[in-house]
Amino acid sequence: MLSLLHHPNLVNLIGYCAEGDQRLLVYEYMSQGSLEDHLHYLTSDQKPLDWNTRMNIAVGAAQGLEYLHCGASPPVIYRDLKSSNILLGEGFIPKLSDFGFAKFGPSGDKSYVSTRVMGTHGYCAPEYLASGKLTTKSDIFSFGVVLLELITGRKAFDESRGREERFLVDWVRPFRDEMNITSLADPLLRVLALDYFNTHPYDSNETKRDNPEGLENNGSPNKTTRMLDVDSERERAVAEAKMWGESWRGKKGPVG
């Protein structure tokens, strides 16, 4: 399967060896190890990943996943997206690896693939675990868990924690209001990520200047930018309408 797939965010299969009972797959060398290593097993001489690097890794992993779902023919369901399967090269460029659990997606009028449940504890979508019905949405759930790992620095499943905190997805559920949201951030980030967003609001004009052609690999980032531009225009129109309304009420005077 991997020999048919080619994308900047998938590891390249260089070759294989099958001699006697020996089996060997040869991939390109990924010098920075895995995302799991940098999130959960830092050595004393390693620095934690900063916010921008984490988000770039998330974007690259998402682009690799989008290629599997939308660019590959037939589409491929990865089925084992997790931090240990996201390998990092020079500049922390992420690439998805280990396609041992991957399956070709449904064909014809079928909306899912029936299969024996496979995957890793903490990353599997609950509906897939319950039914064995595999869809691309199963991968999306796993990506969400990886995104939570990047934000919180916690493992998807940690048996050393209390029962209510073992599964990362269960642990984050109570954090729904603004008062609690900062508690989600990885302590190694010192909450600098959230401070950055508070002091650097989104500017659609800045996005256009920085990315005149859109991001590489596929058209989705351009599409996202256009959507953000539309949202920005909508917000501007609402603000202008509020200003007009206040001005109109001021001219008309108090009611009653």
Active site positions, annotated:
80
Joined tokens for residue 41 = 């097993």
Residue with tokens 């079928």: 110
Cα–Cα distance list, 211 to 12, 208, 243 (Å): 28, 5, 32
**Residues across the chain:** 256
In this structure, the number of other CB atoms found within 10 A of the CB of residue 86 comes to: 28
Closest C-alpha among 59, 53, 76, 63 to residue 2: 76
Query: How far, in Å, CA of 148 to CA of 186, rounded?
Result: 10
In this structure, the number of other CB atoms found within 10 A of the CB of residue 124 comes to: 20
Query: How far, in Å, CA of 31 to CA of 225, rounded?
Result: 32
